[in-house]
Structure 1
Amino acid sequence: MGRAARIALIVGAALASLGFLALTCWQVQRLSWKLDLIERVEARLKAEPVAPPAVSTEVTKADEYRRLRLRGQFEPREVLVQATTELGGGYWVIAPLRLDDGRTVLVNRGFVPPEQRAPELHAAPAGTVELTGLLRLSEPGGGPLRQNMPAEGRWYSRDVAGIAAQLALTGPVAPFFVDESADAAQPRRWPRPGLTVLRFTNNHAVYAATWLALAAMAAVAAGYLVREERRRSPSH
């Protein structure tokens, strides 16, 4: 191997070490962000439920999973969104709840298996209801590789604006939806609420350790190549 090739290997190993070190720093930053997210979500889940934000209020990631308290009447219409849960495949039942102040909030009443999809098998309660749930952000577009097709009644994501248009809702509609909390009085009811997934994958520490190990290995390789190059040099 010529000297130019050996120098190229040294430079490549050094650059690889720096690249792996940069990835280590990035994963450490991601770890800090993930731990902060978990802490914030856990704090929201323990907080007392509050009234929903005004329709005009901008809702961001910082508001997701806040516990809300809703009071109103369900309208006799719904949309089924395809879902896969710990209970298997089926649908989320999304229904509009007209609040006492005239606003409408889309509520994910819970999950139903295919054999329970008929509206008469999971009808919303009549009259005024009170419920609590978690604020969730709209999911526009559809699912992975599958676009929502409202004209065909196929929904793969909980797209608030799209569902509101499909249901022809009038008046102010909240730009978010609410996952209804579990019903302790009816633990086996359909739709089955309380299935919101709140587990956050946190492998950033493992990734950081892996990148750091690779950075160290590349640095050792670069050091070895430098030592060998110096040994080969005529001046030594």
Structure 2
Amino acid sequence: MPKFKPKLVPTLATLVGFGLLIALGTWQAQRYSWKLDIEERRDQNMVSAPIEVSSLKEIKDLDYRKVHAKGKLLTEYSVFFKFRMIDGKSGYWVASPMVFDDGAILVQRGWSPIEQKPENLDLKEADSVEGLVYALDRVIADADTRDAVKELDKDTLQGWNTLDLDAVYERLPFERPQRPALLVLDKNVDADLVASLEHITQPYMTSEKHLGYSITWYTLSVGLLMLWLASCFGKIGGHAPRKR
């Protein structure tokens, strides 16, 4: 019967690898739980009646809630965010400030295919819009555009490579939300743009993907442990007996 003979180096390597795989699995499990809660709240709020708001203060803590906002949707200080896909087609999002007495929130007006040049868009002003409040949990800074654009042009759409809401808000002459947030339109205001809650607020990494990654890391940790046990019993990594 094979004897249990663990070796120092394989054992230490296994401990390190096992701990790392367990940590990765646990991290993805936590992300799964967090993302599942977001998706459930999003699905519930998507069918809820809109809340009437007329100030920036009223929008606070309304993540994934539909609102009917009354203010002034400007065409001035509009920006567009590049590299945005819908149904496999490349394009960009267009955003403009909705101004209240106490500040402004950027309104994601809709998506346009890349073939349509931003300077040719016919953007409309409005006194009220309906959409969903969407706050980002992480902003990816667009360093190149931050360096090149020190202030927004009132008459020219500025293009950004990432959804760098912090930088855009810093360049607007209005008070901003505490967190980087958008009001994503539910219905078209502009004929040249496609308003879509589904494509904008659907997370890139769904809860199902996080769950799959978590299962993968845990499975790999069990596999690593089995390999270590096999090596301890001489099933792998051993030397074949010499013939006499």
TM-score (norm 2): 0.67
Give the 3-state SS of the residue equivalent to 1:42 in structure 2: helix
Q: Say if 1:95 and 1:30 are closer, same or farther in 2 by CA, change over 3 A.
A: closer
Q: Say if 1:19 and 1:53 are closer, same or farther in 2 by CA, change over 3 A.
A: farther
TM-score (norm 1): 0.69
Equivalent in the alignment of 1:207: 213
Write out aligned runs for 1:92-111 (5 A).
92-99=93-100, 103-111=103-111
CA distance in 2, matches of 1:90, 1:177: 18
Cα distance, 1:147 vs. partner?
A: 3.4
What one-letter code is carried by the residue in structure 1 that aligns with 2:213?
Answer: Y
**Gapped runs of 5+ residues in structure 2?**
153-157, 236-244
Give the 3-state SS of the residue equivalent to 2:64 in structure 1: coil
CA distance in 1, matches of 2:212, 2:229: 26
Equivalent in the alignment of 1:71: 70
Task: Choose the corresponding residue for 1:222, options 220, 225, 228.
Answer: 228
What one-letter code is carried by the residue in structure 2 that aligns with 1:68?
Answer: V
What one-letter code is carried by the residue in structure 2 that aligns with 1:196?
Answer: I
C-alpha RMSD over aligned residues: 3.7
- 1:155 paired with 2:155, answer no
Give the 3-state SS of the residue equivalent to 1:93 in structure 2: strand
Contact kept, 8 Å, 1:77 with 1:95, in 2: the verdict is yes
Cα distance, 1:174 vs. partner?
A: 4.3
Cα distance, 1:27 vs. partner?
A: 2.7
**Length, aligned pairs only:** 214
CA distance in 2, matches of 1:14, 1:157: 40
Contact kept, 8 Å, 1:81 with 1:157, in 2: the verdict is no
Give the 3-state SS of the residue equivalent to 1:47 in structure 2: coil
Contact kept, 8 Å, 1:106 with 1:174, in 2: the verdict is no
Cα distance, 1:210 vs. partner?
A: 2.1
Equivalent in the alignment of 1:130: 128
- 1:198 paired with 2:202, answer yes
Cα distance, 1:78 vs. partner?
A: 3.6
Q: Identity percentage over the alignment?
A: 19
Q: Say if 1:223 and 1:39 are closer, same or farther in 2 by CA, change over 3 A.
A: same
